[in-house]
Structure 1
Amino acid sequence: MTPYSPAAPTPSVERIDAIDVLRGIALFGVMAINLVMEFRVSIFEQFLGPKTLASPIDQTIETILTQAIELKAFALFSLLFGAGLAIQFDRLAASKRRTVLLLRRLAVLLMFGIIHLCLIWNGDILAEYALAGFIVLPLLFGPRWLLAFAAVTSLGLYLAMQAFPPAGLFPSRTMIWRDAMDANRIYATGGFLDVLAFRLREIPLIASLHAFVFLRTIGLFLLGILAWRSGIVQNTRALFVIGLPALALGAGLLYRGIEPLGATLLALGYGAAILGIAHFDRGKKLLGWAAPLGRMAFTNYIAESLIFGWIFYGYGLGLFGRLGVAEALAIGIAVYAAQALFSVWWLRRYRYGPLEWLWRSLMYGARQPMAAVEAGKER
């Protein structure tokens, strides 16, 4: 690209398949946690103390989700978002509009996040990512040592906040209990407007949960940027050198009950290991099914909110609070499998997922080629 060439999205042929694979796998983890912990029951149920589950299978699945996936899948998405931001930044280096385009990219994401948060599901993560992106963006102009310092500082402050929670930041137990009781009634039986009103009322409470992990999100964005800038993402040997010790240390810390640091290290280990495996030919064959899901992660994420909202809320099937963990997860696996098949079908015909296309078109201020034949002619 010359300084006078119009900026444009990365062609499909230039995408890094391993990153798409990791994003597709991380999508499953995010889906499973959102479904079991937030769509099935109130997100605040987990803060009301131990509960008796219906069956040993439910107890086993919830333990696996809590220990092996919860927070780790979200951390993977944060790492990937940071790496993606760095890739966009570097590939737009020849464009005089680089900063404007990236600011517009984040502004559009924030708009999508607010719509998702208010009208579809208040467990949204897009708005948080956009706000964290605005903070991280200026640091992309800095050297790697500055990125590393900012990452360590952000993650250190996050860990300190977990050890010494700021007074008044987290809602009281009474507020949590009252909200969970209202959720059991309104989400299960309310019409669309009832659910909408309650969803909006819950936002301040849920914002306090985001406040506890916001510094971690920033720190993981920066680690993702560093992984790309230092070439680790493309270096199979480095991925395993980092990934295997991170897996072992993270698992050990979790076993000792040191959750925040252990979860972060385990997520780093997951990411490095999956990327490393996906670089091999056999790994591509083994994990390649996840790449289409990863390429359409934005569309699939929003689609899951729409589908699960209809399944669990009163304006649909009204299954909120009525399903066990295993039953809910079985539904999620079926939806995820259907999305995997749909993503393959769609990407054979189109260059981007529907929302990915809209995001890029709004970012660049021009309609992007959508059909696969259009993309082929462009190249």
Structure 2
Amino acid sequence: MTSDGAASPRPTNATERIDAIDVLRGVALFGVMAINLVMEFRISIFEQFLGPKTLASPVDRAIETILTQAVELKAFALFSLLFGAGLAIQFDRLTNSERRISLLMRRLAVLLVFGVIHLCLIWNGDILTEYALAGFIVLPFLSGPRWLLTLSALAFLALYLAMQAFPPAGLFPSRAAIWRDVMDANRIYATGGLLDVLAFRLREIPLIASLHAFVFLRTIGLFLVGALAWRSGILQNVRGLLVIAPLCIGFGAALIYTGREPLGTILLALGYGAAILGIASFEHGKRLLGWAAPLGRMAFTNYVAQSLIFGWIFYGYGLGLFGRLGITQALAIGIAVYAGQVLFSAWWLRHYRYGPIEWLWRTLMYGVRQPMAATQVAVVG
């Protein structure tokens, strides 16, 4: 106990977690995995900017349409909303701790270190670094009232939409630079050894950073929306979620259909999130989607594991399938990996409190070795 009688800060117990949020995180991870696999591991991420390619298979064409129209940026937007909500939950649960800000700063600093390692050594499509940097910006807003979160979220999202309508000159790489990178990627990722792939991965980071720059304001805005959703109680309001879901999905789909994709993507992500949270709050919904909760509780570990697995499958130091598979074949591999992670996550959490990386993250955040076995009592720091 602390001197004032308040309990020392500690990680959230499994019994205190909101299962519907873990379900949503697990489902969203499938969308992120599918896009990363089909558009970034299978081929160069920059091929999409060189114009549409003719796909031989009608099935490939259909799957590509579904992924780009219904999943692509929406899954990442969902993850941003969830991260913002999670940061607000942590902030509020540490209300009685004098170390609240320092603990959350440390949490984000550890995430930044993990992100840089992932970015440089495992896969440069990393999202963790961007999330850590955006988290540092959002953290001060969490001390303010809900109206501040609302205005800040609207301001950041408005700036993002303005940036999409009027892209800053020179921010995006030239077509010639993209073409050279795609040609090099097709050669090095497909046939290069570990050190060749590592060197090229590092060389690509400035180009990758330009893509993050285009969505960074959206990430901050969605973090704030996620925090506001938690603070307003809407995440626990099943009836409200089921009203919001069809409205956001309908308006979002209409906006995308009429060419207003940036705003439509945000609304569609909100609709997806509300629908899954609402469904997962019912007993029948829990039985239908409960398999995703363990995956969501271990999302950090599973995300990094996907990078390691797909890197070995597609790059030259492994099976070297880069550029050799169609969309359907690649997605089939991804579904098999995802299904394996569903089973592994459920098994792991029957024996352990956290995923391996989640455990390390919490241990470094609190500065105290956290219990790992499911039967152990939580250590307070």
**TM-score of the two chains, using structure 2 as the length reference:** 0.98
SS of the aligned residue for 1:71 comes to helix
Greater mean deviation of Cα atoms: 238-247 or 63-72: 238-247
User: Given the alignment of the two structures, is residue 68 of structure 1 paired with residue 70 of structure 2, yes or no?
Assistant: yes
User: Given the alignment of the two structures, is residue 373 of structure 1 paired with residue 375 of structure 2, yes or no?
Assistant: yes
Matched residue, 1:128: 130
Runs of 4+ in structure 1 over 4 Å off: 1-4
Alignment counterpart, residue 259 of structure 1, candidates 258, 261, 276: 261
Question: Which stretches in structure 2 are left out of the alignment for 5+ residues?
Answer: none
* Separation (CA, whole Å) in 2 of partners of 1:25 and 1:50: 28
Matched residue, 1:102: 104
Matched residue, 2:146: 144
Q: Per-residue deviation at 1:359?
A: 0.2
**After superposition, where does 1:98-247 map in structure 2 within 5 Å?**
98-247=100-249
Matched residue, 1:41: 43
CA deviations 1:42-89 (Å, max 9, x no partner) are 000000001111211111001000000000000000000000000000
Q: Per-residue deviation at 1:375?
A: 3.7
- Is the 2:123–2:201 contact (alpha carbons within 8 Å) kept by the matching residues of 1? yes
- Is the 1:109–1:359 contact (alpha carbons within 8 Å) kept by the matching residues of 2? yes
Matched residue, 2:88: 86
CA deviations 1:186-240 (Å, max 9, x no partner) are 0000000000000000000000000000000000000000000000000001111
Question: Which stretches in structure 1 are left out of the alignment for 5+ residues?
Answer: none
**Partner amino acid for 1:241?**
V
Matched residue, 2:293: 291
Matched residue, 1:323: 325
Matched residue, 2:15: 13
Q: Per-residue deviation at 1:111?
A: 0.2
Matched residue, 1:337: 339
Alignment counterpart, residue 29 of structure 1, candidates 28, 31, 44: 31
SS of the aligned residue for 1:70 comes to helix
Going from structure 1 to structure 2, the CA distance change for 1:264 and 1:248 (only over 3 Å counts) comes to: same
SS of the aligned residue for 1:257 comes to coil
Matched residue, 2:274: 272
User: Given the alignment of the two structures, is residue 250 of structure 1 paired with residue 265 of structure 2, yes or no?
Assistant: no
Q: What's the RMSD between the two structures over aligned residues?
A: 1.1
Q: Per-residue deviation at 1:5?
A: 2.5
Q: Per-residue deviation at 1:376?
A: 7.8
- Is the 1:351–1:375 contact (alpha carbons within 8 Å) kept by the matching residues of 2? no
Q: Per-residue deviation at 1:255?
A: 1.1
